[in-house]
Amino acid sequence: MPIKYVNRKEQIYYLHQGMTKTGKPKYFFSMKNEGHVVEAMPKGYEIYENPNAQVFLRKVQPKIISDEERSTVEEGIKKFSSLESYQIDIKKETITVYTADQDVNLLSELLNFGSKDKLREAQNRLLKSISYSPMLQFILIDEQKRIFITQRYCFLGRIDDWIDIGNQGTLQELVKNYVKHLGQESFFELH
């Protein structure tokens, strides 16, 4: 039975194995169920889906950010922001919040599907097709005390990079102070 993965856009990917120039195995996902399809997960690897639904096989990552910390960000977004479409990604000591590049509600209103059922179906389809951009990061800087710093993405042509905003603090404090700015003009004033 081949290893397959269904991403958030409901696309099916199959794990394949190839070879590097030096003869070592390399792994990749493809939507094709032909070629050298892998039937067992390679030891020490895990499936990773990024916020834009691309699927990769990567080495198992050490767990630095706890499930509780991820939940703190998720709950904070729901409580303090007006975002409806977002993704949270965790890599090493960084929690990154991605926001939708498109406004699903506005798009579905513009298309004016008529009935509520058709509108809901259109919104679900649109949610599967939107793309996301990284906007806000919480970076763990003290593992013992669980102290974080916050960064936002800066879109000035000469910068286009992450910039520090505010002071360091607990994740709960930083989430409360900064997620409310996501999707708002005030976000671009944070520095």
3-class secondary structure per residue, 82-148: CCCCEEEEEECCEEEEEEECCCHHHHHHHHCCCCHHHHHHHHHHHHHHCCEEEEEEEEEEECCCCEE
Q: What is the pTM of this model?
A: 0.85
pLDDT for res 42: 94
Dig out the tokens for 163 from the structure. 């910039």
Instruction: Kindly give the interhelix angle for 67-80 and 171-178, rounded to the nearest 10 degrees.
Output: 30
pLDDT for res 61: 92
pLDDT for res 77: 97
Give 35-39's long-range contacts (Cβ < 8 A, gap of 24+): 37/2, 37/3, 38/2, 38/3, 39/1, 39/2, 39/3
Question: What is the distance between the alpha carbons of residues 88 and 71, in angstroms, rounded to a whole number?
Answer: 10
pLDDT for res 168: 95
Question: What is the distance between the alpha carbons of residues 189 and 191, in angstroms, rounded to a whole number?
Answer: 6
Centre a 10 Å sphere on the Cβ of residue 64 and count the other Cβ atoms it contains: 13
- Across the chain, what does the average pLDDT equal? 90
pLDDT for res 121: 74
Q: How many CA atoms lie within 13 A of 75 on its CB side?
A: 9
Q: What is the Cα 98 distance to its own chain's centre?
A: 6
pLDDT for res 189: 84
Q: Which residues of the chain have pLDDT under 50?
A: none
Q: Where are the domains of the chain?
A: 4-59, 67-189
Dig out the tokens for 112 from the structure. 């004016």
pLDDT for res 114: 65
pLDDT for res 107: 66
Question: What is the distance between the alpha carbons of residues 4 and 39, in angstroms, rounded to a whole number?
Answer: 9
Strands 147-154 and 12-19: unpaired
pLDDT tens for residues 120-170? 777 677 767 789 999 999 999 999 999 999 999 988 777 789 999 989 999
Question: What is the distance between the alpha carbons of residues 26 and 113, in angstroms, rounded to a whole number?
Answer: 46
